[in-house]
Structure 1
Amino acid sequence: MFSRGRGSDIGGHGNTNVAEWELRPGGMVVQKRNSDLNQNSASKFTIKVKVKYGSSYHQIQISSHASFGELKKMLTEPTGLHVQDQKLIYKKKERDSKSYLDVERVKDGSKLVLVVDIESRERRILETLKIAKEKTSKSLTEIKVEVDKLAKKVAALEAAASTGGVIAELDIETLTENLMRTLIALDEINGEGELKLQRREQVLSL
């Protein structure tokens, strides 16, 4: 009915590039399309795992070739847990995020347990606070430079006024706008301890 090409091996012998065939209506045998093969290949390696978190259970469909880190990313939305705050337990053993599901013998229907990694969460929160503090400190430094510039302009206008000099209305309006903009920037800064004191000093300077 059909001839076998050099690139195919219906019997499964010889050439390693094995072509798959299918029977179409009318009795015609044709080679399967690549899209069909890719779809079958993808579904072949897709598994469903059951993850217990607290009193809840989550069914996750994922590739068996995926890593535990990728599974954690998929669990972020349904659990509300940050990836770094997750600890996955499989067969009573914590699994590394870089390990792969198939390598650790996770199969279709396997059950895992998700718990909160307290130490990791604390480290992440501390790091977040540290970054926020550094950002606030940088903002205060920039505002202090701006306040010093404005203070010099105010002093110059006061000196001119005290000697009977003429002060342009535009200069006063511009200075007022800059002062208000700086006050708004200070109001948006939140800080504790030393940063709070620095913020207060700049507000009093204005």
Structure 2
Amino acid sequence: MMKKRSNGYGKMSESSTVTASSTSREEAVEWEMRPGGMLVQKRSDIKDVSAPNIRLRVVYGALRHEISVNPQATFGEVKKLLTGETGLQPGEQRVIFRGKERENGEYLDMCGVKDRSKVILMEDPSSIERRFIETRRNAKIQSAHRAISDVSLEVDKLAEQVSAIEKSISNGVKVAEVQITTLTEMLMRQAIKLDMISTEGDASAQKNLQGKRVQKCVESLDALKISNARIKPVIVTTKWETFDPPPTTPQWEFFD
């Protein structure tokens, strides 16, 4: 029931009550700018879950996808759904509808998206460049790992030869000096190969490890060379056995 106009004793009039109520409703309304410059009442964050989903046809290069989505969803939510279909992260996607790239915060229904509408999905150019750089970087790292692995196998073989020489010298057997010199040169070649390998991250740690192995083997050979020089060569003499000359052939006497 509406109140009557005040009679002068401080009661609120009917007009003032209506004005206050209208002002309160206007203050509760929030406004937003739609694409195209139209000012409308701001959409509530609560979606109408009763609204049936629509089918959205997505063209991604030569591929075709179809997803089901709420018409009151945003293009940002559409990108999240497309991540599972395409493998592209939302930040790597560009969604085109009616010839215009759509922002993440734009709503489907407000942009005119309906059931069976078609959108075009493109990969962001900067994302393509980043992926190309990352692919090259990974290929470089894998190549470095393979090269270091090859050097490691060679060092394993040479280290076995160093151990064999060390065992001989410790047993007092003199080794040909050329054998030690040749083995040292072969180890230095592996060190040069390691220096030529460009590495980063874990590959750098593996490279340093193999470098230390080569250095340790070379230092061992230097020490073995000194020890080997102190060993006097063993002179083996052969005692010859003498034999008596065979008996001469007897002379036959002839008789008439």
Tell whether the structures are fold-level matches, with TM greater than 0.5: no
Q: Rg larger in 1 or in 2?
A: 2
TM-score normalised to the size of structure 1? 0.41
TM-score normalised to the size of structure 2? 0.35
